[in-house]
Amino acid sequence: MRIGIDVSRYFDRSGGVGIYAANLLKYLLKIDKNNEYNAYSFFYNCFPSNWKHKKIIDEFRKYGKVNFSQINLPTSILKRKWNNSSIEKKEKLLGGVDIIHSTAYMIPELFNAGLVVTIHDLSFLIFPEYHTKENYELVLSNLIYLNSRPDMVICDSRQTKKDVIKYFHVPEEKLRVVYLGVSDSFREEIDSDFRKKILVKYGLTGKYLLCVASIEPRKNFLRIINAFSEFIKKEEYNEYSLVCVGGRGWKNIEIYSLVKQKNLEGKIKFLRSIEECELASIYNQAEIFLYPSLYEGFGLPVLEAMACAVPVITSNVSSLPEVASDAAILINPYSEKDIYTTVCSLLENGSLREELISKGLDRVREFSWEKTARETLKVYHEVYNL
């Protein structure tokens, strides 16, 4: 088979979707020496300015042989050329492959290749108020074809599969659940000098609670900030900080305004552009990982925190109970009181903390990018043999 995979969101640094695509390709290259792989650093509606970035391309080639589209054009001209091309011409530009895997909601019309699409979540449809109008319209304009164009749809979780059936009536025989993995960098022992260097670099010299999420309404930052404001009023917790690692997101003016309103600028740190090798150190030093998201299609940071031996508090909604199982404390994300009291009780209960760390380390062993790649490869074979 000749397989084409969209990794444009990794070049674009688009958070979890890019991380998924990159790790999927790396581990497919590692485990599969029988098929030929084309990787797309640009793809339909995504044209990163650094789509020819040699360092990123070389990063993938360490894992195996992979072809990247070599088109000697500036990004603006490439985008115009692409948009003016026919369906057949676009397929040709993508290498004339047997299977195309769209990893980020794009559902193109194809004449020759089989199409596999990954759906990470349907938050734009379930919580449209938490998304920009532009994002909502872009995703919906593609997902209206979810029932007709793909040969197979991969869902990150059983919850996402359930949502896809409910909202788009995709036949169950076209759906496959493939869980995400956890990068080895979160499992490996961290050199103490390196960890200290990273903590000093970002000013993390005291105790802190950690959130890893883009700064957007769905991640529940308003309730987190209100709960944290009450938490540090207790004398024994006054020294704590709240560290928020993630992209700028959207619709977040109210979030930053609340930090100022509560006079918490010195207590809440927003960190962006963190490298994965640095993130493990930041996870590892946290007292608690706090992830009371209102909706997730998977919730990868929960597993990353568990891999770094940090106790996790997360939501009892959407896919999060499915992913966390009994290795985290599950709370009502709509209750600030629940967030506040659970954080306090966990810090006061050392044996519960150790139990959660132990269960988390056991739970995370069930997830790996190699497993994700093997199960995805099975889907490619299914589509190829249709």
CATH topology of domain 184-364: Rossmann fold (3.40.50)
User: Are 2-181+369-384 and 184-364 equal in CATH topology?
Assistant: yes
pLDDT of residue 53: 75
Q: What gap in Å lies between CA 155 and CA 160, rounded to an integer?
A: 6
**Cβ(223)–Cβ(211) below 8 Å:** no
Determine how many CB atoms are found less than 10 A away from the CB of residue 119: 24
Parse the chain into domains and list their residue ranges: 2-181+369-384, 184-364
Residue linked to tokens 């670099």: 201
- Tell me how far the alpha carbon of residue 307 is from its chain's centroid: 16
pLDDT of residue 70: 66
Backbone angles phi, psi at 38, to 5 degrees: -110, 135
Q: What gap in Å lies between CA 203 and CA 199, rounded to an integer?
A: 6
pLDDT of residue 135: 83
Determine how many CB atoms are found less than 10 A away from the CB of residue 8: 25
**Cβ(385)–Cβ(331) below 8 Å:** no
pLDDT tens digit sequence for 249-295: 788 899 999 999 999 998 999 998 788 789 999 999 999 999 999 99
Q: What gap in Å lies between CA 11 and CA 59, rounded to an integer?
A: 12
DSSP reduced 3-state for 242: strand
pLDDT of residue 240: 96
pLDDT of residue 52: 66
Q: What gap in Å lies between CA 15 and CA 128, rounded to an integer?
A: 20
pLDDT tens digit sequence for 318-372: 999 999 999 999 999 999 999 999 999 999 999 999 999 999 999 999 999 999 9
pLDDT of residue 291: 98
Cα→Cα distances 382→6, 99, 116, 196, 386, Å? 19, 11, 10, 48, 6
Q: Which CATH class is domain 2-181+369-384?
A: alpha beta
Residues of the chain with pLDDT under 50: none
